[in-house]
Structure 1
Amino acid sequence: MSGARKTEDLVEHLRAALPPERRPELEAVEGLEVLLRRHLTAARTRWPTPSLSDERFVRYLAARLPAGKVSEVMRVLRAEDLYLACACASGEPTALEDFERHILRHLPARLARLSPSMRQEVLQVVRERLLVANGDTPPRIASYGGRGPLLSWVGIVAARISGELMDRDTHLQLVAESPEELARHLSPRDPECALLREDARRLLAESLRRAVSVLSEQERTLLSLHHLHGFTLDRLTRMYGGSRSGIARRVAATRKQLLERVRLELAPRLKHDVLALESLLGLLGSRLELSLKGLLD
C-alpha cells in the first residue's frame, strides 16, 4: 500500500511542478506512475549516496520537459544521468565526487591531442563552468536535460573549451570572416543541440550558412567582431563612430535579419513540421541572445 502511495506522489509532484496548461500532457503518457518510479529507482541504484527527495528530483525533471514532448522524453530519459546532474547542481558533495570519478576521469582520453598541461586546464575550466554557480545563476550542469548521455554532453563542453583555450593562445586576425567560418561560430553551442539528430543539425547548419552568405561584408564583420572576438558595444562604437545606442541598434538589426533569413531557409523544408521549425529557430535564437545578453541593456 505504501509503495502505491509513493508512486502516486511522484505523479502529483510532476503535475504540481508543471504550469496548469501543460498538465493535460501527462494524461497521454501511459503508465506514467510506474515509469517515474522505475526511473527514480534506477537512478538511486546507480547513485546511492546523493540525498535527493522524491519531490526535489521530480520537480527538477519537470523543469526540463519540453512542451509537447513529455511522452517522448519520458521514454528516452537518461534518468540516472539527470539524477546525478541534479545532485551536482545542488552542490551535494558525494555527487560531485561521483561526477569526478565517473565522468571527468574519462575526459583526458577524449582530449588526447592536447598537451598534458592543456588537458588539465580544460578539466579545471569544465569543473568551474559546470559545477560552480555564478551569483544567482545556477551551475551550468543544470542546463543538461537528460535526453542524451551525460558523459557525451560533458565531452562536448570539454571539446568546446579546448577550442576556446587554443584560440586564446593563437593570435586572432580581426578581418571579415567567410560566411562558412562565421556560421560555424554562430551555430548553437548548447550541448543539447549537439545531441540532436544528425539531419536536424545539418539542416540548421546549412540554413545558417546560406543566411550568412547573403549578409553584406560589413554586416558579417560586425557579427564576427561581436560574437567571435567578443567586442563590446563601447569598443565597436570607438571603431565605427557614432553613438553606442546606434551600434546597439545595428547589432540587433543584423541579428534580427539573420534569424529571419534562417527562418525563410528552413520554412519550405519543414513546412509539415512546425514544431521542429520553431525548435531549431529557438535554439539558434537563444544562442545569439546569450551573446548579446548584458550588452544591449
Structure 2
Amino acid sequence: MRDETILEHAPVRATEPDPAAEALRSRLYAEGRAAWPGLDLARADFVAHLDRHAGACELAALHAADFYLACACHRRLAGASAAIQARHGGELEAVLRSRNVPPAHRDDLRQALWEKLLVGRPDAPAKIGDYAGRGPLGGWLRVAAVRMALNFREQARTDRLVPAAELVEAHHPASPDPELSFLKSQYRREVEQALRDALAGLETDERNVLRLYFLDRLSIDRIAAVYGIHRATAARWVTRGREALLRGTQALLERQLKVERAEVDSILGLVRSQLELSMSGLFRARE
C-alpha cells in the first residue's frame, strides 16, 4: 500500500523543450521583429502561429519577416494591415492590369481582395491566417489577386458557370472498355468524395498551386512568376501537390471500399487519366 501511495503521488516530469528548436524559434522571431520594429507582436503569439502551421514549412526555410507581418495582421495589431497594403499594393495593382481588368472595376476588386485577405467576415475569417511562410508573402498575395482577376474575367465574359462537376466523367465518347465503364458507374460517388476529402487535407499552398494549374490553366512558368520563384520550384510544387492528392485519394478509397487492392489500383488509374477534368470540376464546385 505504501509503495502504491508513493507511485500515485510521484511528480510527472514535463517534456523538456528542444533547445535547438527553441533557439530557432527565437531567431525567427528576432528576424521578424527587426524587420517590423513598429509592430509589437508578442513572442508567444508568434510561436503559437508557428506551431499552428507546423509541417507546412521547414522552420529553417521560413520567410520570417513575412511570417511575422502576416501573424501581426492575423492578430489585428494596429498598423499591420496598412503595412501589407503599402508594401504589396503595387504588385496587386500590376496583377489586375496584366489580367486586363478594366480600370473602372479595379478599385472594387482591390477592396474586395483586401477585405477577404486581411479583414474577413463573421462567417469567413481573414485568409492572412493561412499564410504559412513557405514562400514570399508577395507571391502568396499575387496568387490571390490572380484568382480574383480570373474569376472576374470569366464571369464578365459569360454567365455559363459549369455546374457541380461529373468528377470522373470524361468529355470524350464512352470508353468501350467494360471494366472502365463499370468503375465509372459503380464507384463514382466514392471517388468524388475521396477527391474532395483528399483536396481538403492538402496544405493551403498545395491547393492554391493545383487550382492555378488545373482550373486556371496557368503554365509552370506563369505559376513561377506569380509566386516569385524559380520554374523548377514551381514544377516541384505542382508535382508534389498532385501526388499528395492522389495518395490521399488512394488511402481514402482503400479504407472506404471493401474490394481487392487491384481494383483500387484500377480506380486510381482512371482518376489519374482524367485528373485534369476532375480537378477543374472539383475546384469549380468549391467556388
Instruction: Tell me, in whole angstroms, the C-alpha distance in 2 between the residues paired with 1:138 and 1:83.
Output: 18
Are positions 1:36 and 2:34 aligned together?
Answer: no
TM value normalised by structure 2: 0.54
Contact 1:207 1:265 in 2 (8 A): no
Instruction: Tell me, in whole angstroms, the C-alpha distance in 2 between the residues paired with 1:35 and 1:262.
Output: 46
Distance 1:55 1:175, change over 3 A: closer
Distance 1:138 1:175, change over 3 A: closer
| CA-CA distance at 1:146 after TM superposition | 0.9
| CA-CA distance at 1:291 after TM superposition | 2.8
Are positions 1:124 and 2:116 aligned together?
Answer: no
* Equivalent residue in structure 2 for 1:107, among 87, 92, 97: 92
Q: Which consecutive residues of structure 1, in runs of 5 or more, have no partner in the other structure? A: 1-22, 181-185, 210-255, 269-283, 293-297
Contact 1:156 1:191 in 2 (8 A): no
Contact 1:79 1:146 in 2 (8 A): yes
| Residues 1-297 of structure 1 aligned to structure 2 (within 5 Å) | 27=18, 31-66=20-55, 73-113=58-98, 114=100, 115-135=102-122, 137-173=124-160, 192-193=205-206, 194=209, 197-202=234-239, 264-265=268-269, 291=286
Cα deviation code 1:106-135 (max 9, x no counterpart): 221233232323332331121111112322
Give the residue type in structure 2 aligned to 1:80: A
Cα deviation code 1:16-44 (max 9, x no counterpart): xxxxxxx89x74xx832322221111101
Instruction: Tell me, in whole angstroms, the C-alpha distance in 2 between the residues paired with 1:190 and 1:164.
Output: 22
Contact 2:41 2:77 in 1 (8 A): no
Cα deviation code 1:53-94 (max 9, x no counterpart): 11111111110112xx7xx61111111111111111122221
| CA-CA distance at 1:48 after TM superposition | 1.1
- The number of aligned residues is 194
Contact 1:88 1:131 in 2 (8 A): yes
| CA-CA distance at 1:157 after TM superposition | 0.4
Give the residue type in structure 1 aligned to 2:34: T
Which has the larger displacement, 141-150 or 111-120?
A: 111-120
Structure having the higher Rg: 2
Question: SS state of the match for residue 172, structure 1?
Answer: coil
Instruction: Tell me, in whole angstroms, the C-alpha distance in 1 between the residues paired with 2:271 and 2:160.
Output: 35
Question: SS state of the match for residue 103, structure 1?
Answer: helix
Instruction: Tell me, in whole angstroms, the C-alpha distance in 2 between the residues paired with 1:208 and 1:58.
Output: 29
TM value normalised by structure 1: 0.53
Instruction: Tell me, in whole angstroms, the C-alpha distance in 2 between the residues paired with 1:35 and 1:120.
Output: 41
Instruction: Tell me, in whole angstroms, the C-alpha distance in 2 between the residues paired with 1:262 and 1:147.
Output: 35
Q: What residue number does 1:243 align with?
A: none
Query: Could you say which structure has the greater relative contact order, defined with CA pairs below 8 angstroms and 6 or more residues apart?
Result: 2
Q: Which consecutive residues of structure 2, in runs of 5 or more, have no partner in the other structure? A: 1-14, 172-195, 210-226, 228-232, 247-255, 258-263, 273-278
Residue identity over aligned pairs, in percent, reads: 25
Contact 1:132 1:139 in 2 (8 A): yes
Distance 1:263 1:147, change over 3 A: farther
